Amino acid sequence: MPAEQSTPSVPQISHQLRNQRPGSPRRPSKLAKIDGGDFSDDVEEEEIESVDRNMSPNPRIQRYLVAIEYIGTRFSGAQKQATGRTVVGVLELPPHEPSVVKRAVNHFLQKNEGDMMVIDVQCVPSDFHARYKAQERTYFYRLLSGKEPLSTFDKDRAWHVPEELDLLAMQVLVGRHDFSSFRAAACQAKSPIRTLEELTVTEVSSSPYFPSLLEREQSNYATLENSGGEVIQGFGIRKRHRCFVVTARAHSFLYHQVRLLVGVLKSVGTGDLTVSDGTTM
C-alpha cells in the first residue's frame, strides 16, 4: 500500500485563488460530476506488453508480493538499474517460504538505519504485477491541529496546522468527477476523470503520547479538570494536538492528486476556502 509521507503542497487551484485580487470576478471552473462505469487506469497497451515480455515464467524462480512500511523523509528520486528492472513491491528469488524471505530482507534493511521494513510476504503467480494487478489504492495523511509546535516524535510524520479545523466542513468531493484542477503539470494520464470511492476526514487519538499517572489510574483517558473546570496540564506534559486522518481510496489517482486534495480539505477546514469552493474546482 502506498503511503505518502511528505507535507501536502498547496493545490494549484489555491495558487490561482491566492494570486487573484480580492473581488476578482474570476472563479475556478465547476468540477464536473460524471456518470457512468468505472474508469480504468491509464496504462498504454505497449507498456503492459513490454512488462509481460520481461516477466516470462521461470519454474526455478518464485515471485513474491512484499508489503512494506517506510519513512520516506530521506528518500528522493528514482534509480534505474542496468538490467532495466527495479524492485517495486515484487521480488523474484529461488523458492523459499515467505517467512524466510521476510526475515532475510529485513536483516539487510535494518543495516541501513531502519527507514524501511517488510511487514508481510506472500507467494504470487509468475505473471503478477504489483501495479497493474492492484484493485485499489489507499492513502492516509495525518494533520495535527494546534498552536503548539509539533512533538519531536511527530516531526516529519504529520502536517502541522496551527489553525483550528472544522471537521464537518471537510467532508467533500467523494464520487466520480473531472479532477483537472487536482493534477500536477507533469501528469501524463490521458483522462482527468477519476472515481473517489472514499475521501474521509476522521478525528483520532493524537499519538504518540504517553499517559500521565492520573490518566493511567482513570484508564479512560478523559480530560482532567480541577474544581474550577480548568484543564490540568502537569509539568513536562505536552499539550495534545487534535489529530485528523484524511483517507483517500480509489482504483487509480492522478499525479499528485491526493496531496492536492488534502491541501484543499485543509483550506476548507481552516475557512480559507468555502465548502462551495471545494466542490466547484
Residues 20 and 119 reside in one and the same domain: no
Is 275 within the bounds of a domain? yes
pLDDT in tens, 228-252: 555 556 666 777 889 999 999 999 9
pLDDT in tens, 180-197: 889 998 898 899 999 999
Return the residue matching grid coordinates 474550577.
228
Residues 177 and 62 reside in one and the same domain: no
Residues 156 and 111 reside in one and the same domain: no
Strand partners, 159: 143
Does residue 9 have a pLDDT over 60? Answer: no
Is 189 within the bounds of a domain? yes
Residues 55 and 103 reside in one and the same domain: yes
Residues 51 and 171 reside in one and the same domain: no
Domain that residue 197 falls in: 12-39+134-206+241-279
8 A C-beta contact, residue 261 and residue 278: no
Residues 174 and 257 reside in one and the same domain: yes
In total, how many domains does the chain have? Answer: 2
Residues 33 and 94 reside in one and the same domain: no
Does residue 30 have a pLDDT over 50? Answer: no
Is 152 within the bounds of a domain? yes
| Buried/exposed 245-266: b ≥16 CB within 10 Å, e otherwise | ebebbbbbbbebbbbbbbbbbb
pTM higher than the cut 0.75 = no
Cα 217 from Cα 213, distance rounded (Å): 6
Q: Identify the CATH number of the domain in which residue 265 sits.
A: 3.30.70.660
Residues 63 and 100 reside in one and the same domain: yes
CB count in 10 Å sphere of residue 85: 11
Residues 106 and 28 reside in one and the same domain: no
pLDDT in tens, 263-276: 999 999 999 988 77
Is 116 within the bounds of a domain? yes
Is 90 within the bounds of a domain? yes
Residues 111 and 66 reside in one and the same domain: yes
Residues 64 and 189 reside in one and the same domain: no
Is 59 within the bounds of a domain? yes
Cα 211 from Cα 254, distance rounded (Å): 41
